[in-house]
């Protein structure tokens, strides 16, 4: 299955993120990403999502943070298809009135590359386009 990974899935993995109840969000996201790495699914994300990971890994723009961010981004790029963030994607996203701009960019990118599903933590953000493309959490996808 061709999966498009929203930025929050990559953030889960990069930060070993845990939710407010102590649930390790990173665990299922890491299993999902590992499945892509092993060829069980095909994974794509946008250059914008990798930029988000970079900014969060290195918020103070330090030299040591930059080295860590580069290492994490190289690792992700080694097995994910990274879709360029183009002017045409931005233009179409700005016309997509059913979603906030950042989510519209993710949705338009996923649709342009023919992804079968967007994997995200924010189902509510994509509820207005769930008839256009499958929207799923890592947990729901792994349960299938």
Residue 60, both tokens:
């103070």
The arithmetic mean of pLDDT across residues 4-11, rounded, is 96
The strands making up 42-46's β-sheet, listed across from edge to edge, are 81-83, 42-46, 2-5, 117-119, 134-136
What percent of the chain stands above pLDDT 90?
A: 81
CA angle, residues 84, 57, 34, in degrees to nearest 5: 65
Residue-number span of the structural domain to which 31 is assigned: 2-143
Helix (H, G, I), strand (E, B) or coil at 3: strand
Number of domains in the chain: 1
Alpha-carbon distance of 125 to 98, in angstroms, equals: 10
| Mean local confidence (pLDDT), 125-135 | 98
E strand intervals along 1-144: 2-5, 42-46, 81-83, 117-119, 134-136
Local confidence band at 93 (pLDDT 50, 70, 90 cut-offs)? very high
Mean pLDDT of 20-48: 95
- Give the pLDDT score at 39: 96
Q: What is the CATH number of the domain that holds 32?
A: 3.40.50.1010
Q: In this structure, what are the phi and psi dihedrals at residue 73, rounded to the nearest 5 degrees?
A: -65, -40
43-57, 59-73, 103-117: least confidently modelled range: 59-73
pTM to 2 decimal places: 0.92
Percent of the chain surpassing pLDDT 70? 100
Rounded Cα distance, 93 and 39, in Å: 30
């Amino acid at each position: 299955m061709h999966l498009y990974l929203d930025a929050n899935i990559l953030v889960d993995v990069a930060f070993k993120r845990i939710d407010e109840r102590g649930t390790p969000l990173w665990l299922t996201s890491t299993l999902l990403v590992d499945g892509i790495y092993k060829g069980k699914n095909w994974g794509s994300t946008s250059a914008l999502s990798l930029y988000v990971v970079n900014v969060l890994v290195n918020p103070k723009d330090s030299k040591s943070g930059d080295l860590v961010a580069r290492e994490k981004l190289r690792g992700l790029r080694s097995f994910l298809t990274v879709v360029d963030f183009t002017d045409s994607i931005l233009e179409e996203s700005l016309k997509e009135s059913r979603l906030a701009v950042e989510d519209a960019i993710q949705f338009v990118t996923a649709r342009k590359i023919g992804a079968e599903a967007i994997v995200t933590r924010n189902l509510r953000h994509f509820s207005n386009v769930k008839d256009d493309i499958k929207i799923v959490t890592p947990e729901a996808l792994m349960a299938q």
